[in-house]
Amino acid sequence: MAFKSLGKFFGAVPALAKMLPAAASLLLLVLALARPAAAEPVNIVGFGDSLMAGYELAPGEGFTEKLEAALRAQGHDVTVANAGVSGDTTSGGLSRLDWSVPEDTDLVILELGANDMLRGMDPATTERNLDEIISRLKERDIGILLIGMYAAPNLGADYQQAFNSLYPRLSEKYDLPLVPFFLEGVVGDASLQLADGMHPNAAGIDVMVQNVLPAVEPLVQGEKPNM
């Protein structure tokens, strides 16, 4: 009897061997399905003008690149795309919005209006354009960090008041986090500016990144900044 049982066992070995690869594949499939999916990086788009584009700066010195590096240094899995266009106005930004902000975008850092101001455009027009940009991004369920700008003093007190107030108003209307002034700490400091006295150099970009980081980091974590 013992030899018969042993013979049956060895006779079944070839069949078992054929089943092992299929069983192993099934086990691997079950393990793969049970494993949590890897989190996708947070996709951020810097949407703005020359201040966002990195005017006359070397590769790696622009705002979006340095912001991505700063966020990654804090342990955040992010990509920060540069959708800045030198000389762009709010009207230009509105016209290129759809193709400049990809479908997989999670957050837009919206920085436009400085060139409107430098050209003396009616602040009401600037506000309408920004309002439309914000509305369209919200329709796409994309988060927004609004970046403000201050009007130059030589444009007069009335223009300054009208222009400077539009960013807080939009922030309140849409409940958006706001960085009031993108060039805070940079304007008036020649050591942080290019020779034109308007655009930041690489050191100025470092200051701007540190100004914006406290507002961006909570948004990356799915929280609202305490600004």
- In the predicted structure, residue 105 carries a pLDDT above the cut 70: yes
pLDDT for residue 3 is more than 50? no
pLDDT at position 144, please? Answer: 98
Mean pLDDT of the chain: 88
Residue labelled with tokens 């929280």: 223
Q: Pick the catalytic residue: 141, 158, 175, 196?
A: 196
Active site residue 196: yes
CATH of domain 42-220: 3.40.50.1110
Phi/psi of residue 84, nearest 5 degrees: -90, 140
| Options 49, 50, 106, 171, the catalytic residue | 50
Per residue in 132-180, pLDDT (tens digit) is 999 999 999 999 999 999 999 999 999 999 999 999 999 999 999 999 9
Q: 185-212, pLDDT tens digit by residue? A: 999 999 999 999 999 999 999 999 999 9
Task: Confirm whether 50 is a catalytic residue.
Answer: yes
The one catalytic residue among 88, 106, 171, 199: 199
Instruction: Enumerate the H helices of 88-201 as residue ranges.
Output: 90-100, 114-118, 123-139, 157-164, 166-174
- Predicted TM-score (pTM) of the model is 0.82
Report the alpha-carbon distance of residue 121 to residue 131 in Å, rounded.
16
Checking if the pLDDT of 49 tops 70, the result is yes
| Residue 76 falls in the annotated catalytic set | no
